[in-house]
């Protein structure tokens, strides 16, 4: 079963700046650490990080054509602003888990609201890189 892992704007900066909020692991490190869990769950991971909303949306559309069974997405700042990303997720009807490294509910007011959460099967927020692993486990549980 193929799972698409999507990371949105600025997540390519992980490990380089803001370690106090987002941890010291790079995105590459986070993804590499997911491999054993994915393989234990029988999941094949495809990954894309983009700083561009339209690129993320195109990849979500393609996921439906490719037969992707689940999506793990950290939409970054688009979480709080993007109706278009939300519509794309709703439009493909693929079970999606929203992940945030930081606890968005304990930060600035503008981060507390997610436009994406209502079209996902759930949101994981505040557990750092572990959130991606929890998301894979949640999807595997839903798909089996």
Q: Which residues are catalytic?
A: 22, 100
Q: Which of 41, 51, 53, 77 binds ligand CA2 (CB under 6 A)?
A: 77
Crossing angle of helices 53-66 and 83-92, rounded to 10° = 0
Q: What is the dihedral of CA 25, 30, 31, 35, to 10 degrees?
A: 130
What binding mask, one character per residue, do residues 38-57 give for ligand CA2 by CB under 6 A, x or -? --------------------
Give least dist CB 42 to ligand CA2, A.
26
17 secondary structure, DSSP code: B
90 secondary structure, DSSP code: H
Write out the two tokens for 52.
């561009």
Interaction with ligand CA2 in 82-101: which residues (CB under 6 A)?
Answer: 100-101
The whole-angstrom separation of Cα 121 and Cα 32 is 24
- HSE at residue 30, side-chain half, CA atoms within 13 A, is 29
CA 47 to mean position of chain CA atoms: 10
Q: Which of 34, 60, 76, 88 binds ligand CA2 (CB under 6 A)?
A: 76
Interaction with ligand CA2 in 114-133: which residues (CB under 6 A)?
Answer: none
Q: Which of 13, 92, 117, 130 binds ligand CA2 (CB under 6 A)?
A: 13
**Residues at the interface with ligand CA2 (CB under 6 A):** 10-11, 13-14, 17-18, 22, 74, 76-77, 79, 100-102, 104, 111
């Amino acid at each position: 079963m193929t799972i698409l892992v999507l990371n949105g704007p600025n997540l390519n900066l992980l490990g380089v700046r803001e370690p106090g909020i987002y941890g010291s692991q790079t995105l590459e490190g986070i993804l590499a650490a997911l491999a054993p869990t994915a393989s234990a769950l029988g999941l094949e991971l495809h990954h894309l990080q983009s700083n561009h909303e339209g690129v993320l949306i195109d990849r979500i559309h393609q996921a439906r054509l490719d037969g992707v069974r689940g999506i793990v997405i950290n939409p970054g700042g688009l979480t709080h602003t993007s109706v278009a990303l939300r519509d794309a997720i709703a439009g493909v009807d693929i079970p999606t888990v929203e992940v945030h490294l930081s606890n968005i509910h304990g930060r600035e007011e503008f981060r507390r609201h997610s436009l994406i959460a209502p079209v996902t099967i759930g949101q994981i927020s505040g557990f750092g890189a572990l959130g991606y692993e929890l998301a894979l486990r949640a999807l595997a549980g839903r798909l089996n």
